[in-house]
Amino acid sequence: MAVITPQPGIMDIALYEGGKSHLDGVAQVLKLSSNENPLGPPPSAIAALTQAAAGMHLYPSTDHADLRAAIAEMWQVEADRVICGVGSDEVLQFVTQAFAGPGDEIIYTEHGFSMYPILANMAGATPVKVPEAVRVVDVDAILGAVTDRTRIVLLTNPGNPTGTILPDEDLVRLADGLPDSVILVIDGAYTEYAEGYDGGRSLAKERPNVLMTRTFSKIYGLGGLRVGWGYGPKALIDVMTRIRQPFNLSVVQLAAAEAALRDRDWLDTCSALNADQRARLTGALRQLGVECDESQTNFVLARFASPDEAGAADATLQADGIIVRRVTGYGFPEGLRITVGDAEQTGRVIDSLTRWRAA
Ligand code: PMP
């Protein structure tokens, strides 16, 4: 009997493990495991989505012209060098699929986003993991790992789960050191939380081989809606567009994302709240003897004395109905990544950890 067999390599692709969203026996959990916006979606986006829904019998725009125009205006980029996707995940898939294949290598860093090796495998390419320095991306280690098979370097900046940022001069040094044939992808999922950082925009504007990716899932509060975008040289965007489904974004996704983007007050409100609560959480953790770096994102990587201690703290948080992220798979068995919540939520985390410490 004939057997249906998948294409070679497909069964080697790992399944993505997302953050937990429920706890057995707890009706109302506080989910601080996926770096979502504690204020929810902007009301302006809900209104635009509701209005757009009345037109959902019609196919959406294939070229995303309105959303790209809004992105261009807001972030001072050229609209014809922007590509939109179903979350930045899809934009990352476009670039890996379009520019790497069997026999090619895709470099990512030790604490990089867990989708990177999966995306490399999805493209049929070989993921190459490069060590980081002390919780910061190591430019020399990346440059040292480049071979004549390297096609792409995937870099998260600011980092997840480290929360640290590679300074502009190091980003430039990395771009300068890479051959022109290697694409540098600067994944800026958390760019808006980092003060004075352009997410790699100036590099993506000038260089023939730099692509910046961004998302509506974090500061814009639209993680469940799934919209992201990329900006880079026209030649790269043109290639990526060939493998984009013409109707990849729905009428409601397009309308809500555009409204959120034009809502500058929302950005300011979320950014200010995050900065305040992040400072408060960082300070409280340190007072409890838990180490953490200054975060440039909407989460804090809390480093405990040992994996067991992190497990015990996690158990206390869970007993209090709070879900944070164990980041063992990201190379931090002693770490808990805690999303910065609003004032009340941050208070609950601090109270819970204070009780854990006192026990
Ligand atoms: N890059 C990084 C570093 C992330 O943390 C995430 C989401 N956790 C993504 C990309 C993907 O985000 P989305 O697909 O929701 O835009």
| Residues 192-239 pLDDT 10s | 999 999 999 999 999 999 999 999 999 999 999 999 999 999 999 999
The position carrying tokens 């934009």 is: 91
112 found inside a domain? yes
What does pLDDT average to over the chain?
96
Domain's final residue, options 262, 290, 319:
262
Q: What are phi and psi of 210, to 5 degrees?
A: -120, 130
245, 233 contact by CB (below 8 A): no
Q: Which residue, among 197, 91, 201, 208, has the nearest Cα to 154 in the 3D structure?
A: 91
Find the 105 Cα to ligand 1 centroid distance in Å: 21
Q: How confident is the model at residue 91 (pLDDT cuts 50, 70, 90)?
A: very high
Find the 214 Cα to ligand 1 centroid distance in Å: 8
For 158-176, what is the mean pLDDT?
Answer: 96
Find the 134 Cα to ligand 1 centroid distance in Å: 23
For 145-168, what is the mean pLDDT?
Answer: 96
Residue 160: CB within 6 Å of ligand 1? yes
Kindly report the protein residue whose alpha carbon is nearest to atom 4 of ligand 1. Answer: 189
Which pLDDT value is given to residue 8?
87
For 180-192, what is the mean pLDDT?
Answer: 97
Asked whether residue 254 falls in the same domain as residue 140, the answer is yes
214 found inside a domain? yes
Which pLDDT value is given to residue 18?
77
Which pLDDT value is given to residue 25?
81
Residue 217: CB within 6 Å of ligand 1? yes
Which pLDDT value is given to residue 37?
98
Residue 37: CB within 6 Å of ligand 1? no
Find the 222 Cα to ligand 1 centroid distance in Å: 12
Query: What's the pLDDT tens digit per position in 266-297?
Result: 999 999 999 999 999 999 999 999 999 999 99
Which pLDDT value is given to residue 135?
86
CATH of the domain at 145: 3.40.640.10
132, 161 contact by CB (below 8 A): no
Residue 88: CB within 6 Å of ligand 1? yes
State which of 89, 190, 229 you would mutate to test the pocket of ligand 1, scoring each by most atoms of that ligand within 8 A of its C-beta. Answer: 89
Residue 250: CB within 6 Å of ligand 1? no
State which of 160, 213, 229, 253 you would mutate to test the pocket of ligand 1, scoring each by most atoms of that ligand within 8 A of its C-beta. Answer: 160
Domain count along the chain: 2
Asked whether residue 126 falls in the same domain as residue 273, the answer is no
Asked whether residue 296 falls in the same domain as residue 189, the answer is no
85 found inside a domain? yes
CA distance linking residue 219 with residue 189, whole number of Å: 9
Which pLDDT value is given to residue 171?
97
CA distances to 99, 129, 135, 156 from 140, in Å:
23, 14, 14, 16
For 343-359, what is the mean pLDDT?
Answer: 97
Q: Does residue 298 have a pLDDT over 80?
A: yes
| Structural domain harbouring 122 | 43-262
Asked whether residue 224 falls in the same domain as residue 300, the answer is no
Find the 355 Cα to ligand 1 centroid distance in Å: 32
Which pLDDT value is given to residue 352?
98
Q: Does residue 19 have a pLDDT over 80?
A: no
Find the 193 Cα to ligand 1 centroid distance in Å: 14
Residue 228: CB within 6 Å of ligand 1? yes
For 53-74, what is the mean pLDDT?
Answer: 98
Q: Does residue 85 have a pLDDT over 80?
A: yes
Domain's final residue, options 262, 279, 307:
262
Q: What is the pTM of this model?
A: 0.96
Q: Does residue 163 have a pLDDT over 90?
A: yes
State which of 94, 215, 222, 253 you would mutate to test the pocket of ligand 1, scoring each by most atoms of that ligand within 8 A of its C-beta. Answer: 215
- pLDDT > 70: what percent of the chain? 100
The position carrying tokens 């900046």 is: 157
Of ligand 1's listed atoms, the one at least distance from the Cα of 92 is 10
Alpha-helical runs (H) found in the chain: 43-53, 65-75, 87-99, 115-122, 139-145, 168-177, 201-206, 234-242, 251-262, 264-287, 307-319, 343-358
Asked whether residue 60 falls in the same domain as residue 131, the answer is yes
Domain's final residue, options 217, 234, 262:
262
- pLDDT > 90: what percent of the chain? 91
Residue 138: CB within 6 Å of ligand 1? no
Which pLDDT value is given to residue 189?
97
State which of 187, 214, 248 you would mutate to test the pocket of ligand 1, scoring each by most atoms of that ligand within 8 A of its C-beta. Answer: 187
Asked whether residue 243 falls in the same domain as residue 276, the answer is no
Asked whether residue 245 falls in the same domain as residue 107, the answer is yes
